[in-house]
Amino acid sequence: MKLWAGRFNKDINPLVLDYTQTIDIDKRLIEFDIWGSITHVLMLCNQNIISQEHGRKILQCLVKIFEDHRQGKIQLERELEDVHLNLENRVISQLGMDIGGRMHAARSRNDQVVTDTRLYLRISLLNIQQELLKFVEILIDLAETNVETVIPGYTHSQPAQPISLAYWLTAYASMFNRDIKRLDKAFENTNLNPLGACALAGTSFPIEREITTNLLGFDGLLLHGLDATSSRDFIIESLAALAIIMSNLSKMAEEIVLWNSFEFRLVEVDDTFATGSSIMPQKKNPVVAELARAKTGRVYGALMQILTIVKGVTTGYSCDLQEDKPFLWQAIDDTSLTISVMCQQLQTLKFNTQRALSMSWENFSTATELANYLVVEINMPFREAHQIVGTVVNQLIKFGKTLSDVTDISQSLEELGMNISPEVLRELLNPIQAISRQTSKGGTAPESVQEILETLNRDIIHQKDSLAGRYKKIQQAFDKTFEITNQFISGIDIHIAISGVES
Ligand code: ARG
């Protein structure tokens, strides 16, 4: 039965049905749609918009549908277009039009769909935060035991200065920590109630929007009905946050691919995170990292897609807006899967620390230390020291030497009128020592990294608390909805069952 068929003379063209139906996408909304409908009906009863007798029957039916859904027994029918019409149809076919047909007063699919989407997205944002938190904790754990492990640090992909492995790891922990905070903002703008906006203009029924707001665990309501039904900026903001997460993951993936190459050999991905070649027997390819890079493009695509959709849609719902969900779902899946697979890959990644140390001796990356020494010990202007060390490096390169050839360096400096013994130079140019000197706030020295770790740890504790609070609030709202519904169904007056929920 088509619930909107009254003004039509002909049935829909099958191709148009194919083109417009959203059944596969809407599957993820079933339980949120039922939860939303239950709170709506409770509100309608409380406001005497429908009778308590009718309300009880409808709620009984909705609770049964919910249980059936949890047992995997609900199949949505394509012919009924979307999740909303499917579920309303089910209620009407079970209770008859006289009762079931009363559920949709003071509501539209326009406020309904965006309510469902917000309910689904908010929990997805929390789940992604949880996965990121796990990742940050693992990065911190690995960092804590590697504050003195040397790896080459790069700028322009050229050896720059040695850093500790902990420093590299905490760089990502810092990025993901910010990503978690960014998701907080997206959550705040998502967790607002559009229900009660109706089609676009509100309603003449005496609805009470605070009831559905509280029973659905929203932090507040979207006051403006036309805005509430038209706007998708909460999706844009969420997808922007996901796109940024992916860009950070992709950066790490790129480093893993590069460092895992034979030429770098700084890391080795575990066998369990690689695949082989069908023709070249020697190959072990870092495909997880490669795919993480590529999937980033899909999430960017989702962001571009929603931005492009909304720019042409006038205020008030247009069907363009139903295309907001397919790519959002995809982006949620891609991001959470990429976070967990990259996290597990990192836990099994082998760092070739021996080679990292010898590369740091040979790649001239402690040259800045020598320049700084000349500034401090000889009171030379930095620009002049830079010039001199540059000349020394140039000579060393010419003779196939490195900064580990301290006798040669000592001689070159002597020719330039400076007396620095090979012993002092060995100490000065040692990458481990070099790292230990970068004690400025946010530097790579162990004590600076310690401070970074402490700050990260504090943030993590705070984030975990806030996340647990949000999960709990949602769960409590859900439990409360069903508790009130059961009391009401069992005969308690709606005003007693629901008391306290409005405030
Ligand atoms: N299936 C639609 C969506 O996903 C919801 C229905 C919107 N209302 C309408 N009149 N078509 O956005």
CA of 325, closest atom in ligand 1: 4
Task: Determine the pLDDT at residue 366.
Answer: 98
Could you state, in order of their start, the residue ranges of all structural domains in the chain?
Answer: 5-105, 111-134+165-194+223-352+449-472, 367-429
Please state, in angstroms and rounded to a whole number, the distance separating the CA atoms of residues 261 and 279. Answer: 19
Task: Determine the pLDDT at residue 2.
Answer: 80
Percentage of the residues of the chain whose pLDDT score is greater than 70 = 100
Backbone angles phi, psi at 352, to 5 degrees: -85, 80
Pairing state between β 220-221 and 192-193 = parallel
Task: Determine the pLDDT at residue 348.
Answer: 97
Please state, in angstroms and rounded to a whole number, the distance separating the CA atoms of residues 374 and 380. Answer: 6
308-323 pLDDT, tens digit per residue, is 999 999 999 999 999 9
Res 421 pLDDT > 70: yes
Write the single-letter amino acid at 471: Y
- The dotted CATH code for 5-105 is 1.10.275.10
187 lines ligand 1 (CB under 6 A): no
For tokens 């830079």, name the residue: 386
73-82 pLDDT, tens digit per residue, is 999 999 999 9
Contact criterion met (CB below 8 Å) for 140 and 181: no
Res 188 pLDDT > 90: yes
Question: How many Cα atoms within 13 Å fall on the side-chain side of residue 293?
Answer: 12
113 lines ligand 1 (CB under 6 A): yes
Res 1 pLDDT > 70: no
22 lines ligand 1 (CB under 6 A): yes
Please state, in angstroms and rounded to a whole number, the distance separating the CA atoms of residues 474 and 100. Answer: 28
Average pLDDT over residues 383-412: 97
Hey, which of 30, 109, 117 would you mutate to test ligand 1's pocket, going by the most ligand atoms within 8 Å of its Cβ? 109
82 lines ligand 1 (CB under 6 A): yes
281-308 pLDDT, tens digit per residue, is 999 999 999 999 999 999 999 999 999 9
319 lines ligand 1 (CB under 6 A): yes
Neighbours of 92 (CB within 10 A): 21
Task: Determine the pLDDT at residue 187.
Answer: 98
Res 12 pLDDT > 70: yes
Contact criterion met (CB below 8 Å) for 159 and 363: yes
Please state, in angstroms and rounded to a whole number, the distance separating the CA atoms of residues 146 and 122. Answer: 36
- Residue 6 — pLDDT band, cuts 50, 70, 90? confident
CA of 82 to the centre of ligand 1 (A): 7
Q: Whose CA is nearest to atom 12 of ligand 1?
A: 322
84 belongs to the catalytic site: no
DSSP letter, residue 399: T
Please state, in angstroms and rounded to a whole number, the distance separating the CA atoms of residues 189 and 235. Answer: 9
202-230 pLDDT, tens digit per residue, is 999 999 999 999 999 999 999 999 999 99
Task: Determine the pLDDT at residue 4.
Answer: 86
108 belongs to the catalytic site: no
336: tokens are 């959470």
Average pLDDT over residues 431-459: 98
The class (CATH top level) of 111-134+165-194+223-352+449-472 is: mainly alpha
Task: Determine the pLDDT at residue 7.
Answer: 87
105-151 pLDDT, tens digit per residue, is 999 999 999 999 999 999 999 999 999 999 999 999 999 999 999 99
28: tokens are 């993820």
Among the listed residues 261, 277, 318, 499, the single catalytic one is 277
Hey, which of 19, 110, 310, 329 would you mutate to test ligand 1's pocket, going by the most ligand atoms within 8 Å of its Cβ? 110
- Residue 386 — pLDDT band, cuts 50, 70, 90? very high
Q: What is the pTM of this model?
A: 0.96
